[in-house]
Structure 1
């Protein structure tokens, strides 16, 4: 037994690809200049009909005495209308049916009558199915007239073979149309999938930009506020207590280095595609003490209360929830540093309930001038609400009746419905 070699297979594949590319070029040319193909096909069949009209028609004619001029005219009437078969196939078939009626009724029985199958194919290819029923009404009368006027054996010997040919051509047109529609549907589906993929990529990019914007806002906004508070305090302390001014400068340096470290971590994540790249862990509730210490150094007294008293990072809270709580506390204290004014105090109350986790940040900010900006009206409030929404939480913020400001975040526990 012989086996096919890889060269034979590759040759067949290459030939198939060449044929497909050639057909694609022909279809593209026909789409650009359809009149060229229509004219070539019409001229070919016209020449064939005229060759038959030169004398060959008498071999199957029932009446060889039909005038030659009538045969030539009928042959042209059966061939020339093919030029418009793609644009108006029903009108072309009607003209050709009239010529076929003359051909069969006179006894010439021209073979050019079979050209009627070409517009029938285009009817099945491009028109609704009911158009085929109308074409039967045009196709049958010439056959019936010829079979009745010039009987040769049983009358169905003339009608049935042509009807079978009509049915096969109609089925071929329907099959080609179904395949073309199926291919077009696949192409459209592929296009829609590409559009959906691009949309998903854009949405993912937008979500990632929003996440990065929140992180950048929290990191830069908080640390710059702390640095600003330390710088203001150090300036006032420089004249009276150089030691306190030096402590403020040391705190500014430590805060700046911490901000740079966090920024490098965030930018490092952006630069690499490796999800396992080494980077510092995200802040958790265990880091609240360090956050509050930096705020106190900036000049804002702040107190942390736990209800009930427990570890600041219970294991049942996911890292994402802890990061959200940490960032909201950070943003709220940053707003207090910016807007509360001198002499303000802040408190953070972290409550672990059976159904939700709450964090409440309040301050005793003094009066603000009429042109001062209210805390939480910029990007910070939007970022806090987005973080809360990620875990089906709610965020409420607003002024207190006796002065000051409150930010309240509620996040349901992961084992309870939101």
Structure 2
């Protein structure tokens, strides 16, 4: 608990520092030249103050260096810092002659230490092999100074310089590693976000296809039944008013069933924040086939059914069989003509295997369904269980249309 309390107390300060750091980096990205000018201006000012105030004389072994030369060396070792981030290697090469002149004349200006800042940017931005020649370039003036004006052990002065180089390099590599790690995390987050969006789009497309398939099955079948009933009622109105009234009752019943199914589907899709749960009912199954066939027969299509074996299918396979039969009969109602009949042959096997054949006796040319969601929907449902679906005119001399569905046995898990 104590550590957690300390972390909570430290969080506001840490967040404040991180917020300032983010703002500084954002400002730098927006105005890089302004930031470079500010940094270079600071060090140029410091070098000129050292020159004007004569502070360089406190450490210089040669006090007879001309003032104009000290000014030139001060500017030569500080002004190039403006390009330190964009061209660090070129900047170090530009500073090298001034650093050598600084060591040779004995001025030993403190501005020569600004080369360490350039070495830091080389470690940060250039290939690491560039550090070898950068180290040699910055060490050469130190060796010249030790050879001409050395005081004390030469290895101490060279060692001190190399230690400073190592520190600058380590800081540059550390910052570089952090930048690379952050960039990798940002790239990974960006790719995950793109992948998430793609998965969402695929899921939405699959859901739209499923909804379109369900609505096609519901609306297409029921409207076909209603159309058949309306046509039959129109012919019966003049000769048998009782049969016309029965047709109207059947139309009303079928319409209410279609509305109820659509309402349940739309209730599931609705997401309006209401607390009333959607009314959920099971999807159609083989036990609902009799009701489906009764509606088709009422619409004027005689249907004969043959069943072999005992049905023992999972709910998903039952829905596929139901929808395929529903779509086949709907197409017969739409396209087969007024005198057509239909026959359904169901054969159940072991482990969920089932074969369904739906044939009709209509005109084979007229029975072909137009391009739409019907046949693609049946094939999509069949493909879910590795089955096959054949749909086409019956072979000569038979007339009509044939839909053949086969679902193989369920594969073991």
TM-score interval for Structure 1 and Structure 2 normalised by the shorter chain: over 0.9
Distance 1:291 1:200 in 2: 37
2:20 corresponding residue in structure 1: 22
1:237 deviates by 1.3
Query: Residues 28-67 of structure 1 correspond to what in structure 2 (within 5 A)?
Result: 28-54=26-52, 55-67=54-66
Query: Residues 250-269 of structure 1 correspond to what in structure 2 (within 5 A)?
Result: 250-269=249-268
Q: What does the per-residue CA deviation read over 1:208-253, in whole Å, with 9 as the maximum and x for residues that have no partner?
A: 1111111110011001101111111111111222222122112111
Deviates further, 146-155 or 247-256: 146-155
Question: In structure 2, the residue corresponding to 1:409 is in which secondary structure?
Answer: strand
Question: In structure 2, the residue corresponding to 1:159 is in which secondary structure?
Answer: helix
1:123 corresponding residue in structure 2: 122
Distance 1:364 1:57 in 2: 111
1:276 deviates by 7.4
Deviates further, 342-351 or 325-334: 342-351
| TM-score computed with the length of structure 1 as normaliser | 0.91
Question: In structure 2, the residue corresponding to 1:281 is in which secondary structure?
Answer: coil
Specify every segment of 5 or more residues in structure 2 that has no aligned partner in the other structure, as ranges. none
Q: What does the per-residue CA deviation read over 1:363-407, in whole Å, with 9 as the maximum and x for residues that have no partner?
A: 111254xxx572263210111111112222221111111221111
Distance 2:228 2:7 in 1: 78
Select the residue among 322, 326, 338 that pairs with 2:322.
326
Query: Residues 312-351 of structure 1 correspond to what in structure 2 (within 5 A)?
Result: 313-314=311-312, 317-351=313-347
1:359 corresponding residue in structure 2: 356
Q: What does the per-residue CA deviation read over 1:86-110, in whole Å, with 9 as the maximum and x for residues that have no partner?
A: 1111111111111110011112221
Specify every segment of 5 or more residues in structure 1 that has no aligned partner in the other structure, as ranges. none
Q: What does the per-residue CA deviation read over 1:305-346, in whole Å, with 9 as the maximum and x for residues that have no partner?
A: 1123x3xx42xx211111111011000000001111121111
1:223 aligns with 2:222: yes
Distance 2:80 2:188 in 1: 38
> Structure 1 residues 40 and 70 mapped into 2: Cα distance closer, same or farther (>3 Å)?
same
Q: What does the per-residue CA deviation read over 1:12-64, in whole Å, with 9 as the maximum and x for residues that have no partner?
A: 43333222222222222221112222122212211221222242222222222
2:270 corresponding residue in structure 1: 271
CA contact (8 A) 1:335 1:376 kept: no
Question: In structure 1, the residue corresponding to 2:77 is in which secondary structure?
Answer: helix
Distance 2:262 2:16 in 1: 56
Select the residue among 369, 389, 393 that pairs with 1:399.
393
Distance 1:113 1:275 in 2: 77
2:408 corresponding residue in structure 1: 412
Distance 1:4 1:346 in 2: 79
| TM-score computed with the length of structure 2 as normaliser | 0.92
CA contact (8 A) 1:81 1:92 kept: yes
Distance 2:155 2:109 in 1: 18
1:162 deviates by 0.8
Distance 1:373 1:101 in 2: 97
Query: Residues 13-412 of structure 1 correspond to what in structure 2 (within 5 A)?
Result: 13-54=11-52, 55-272=54-271, 277-308=278-309, 310=310, 313-314=311-312, 317-354=313-350, 356-366=353-363, 368=365, 372=366, 374-375=368-369, 377-401=371-395, 402-412=398-408
CA contact (8 A) 1:93 1:116 kept: yes
Deviates further, 83-92 or 274-283: 274-283
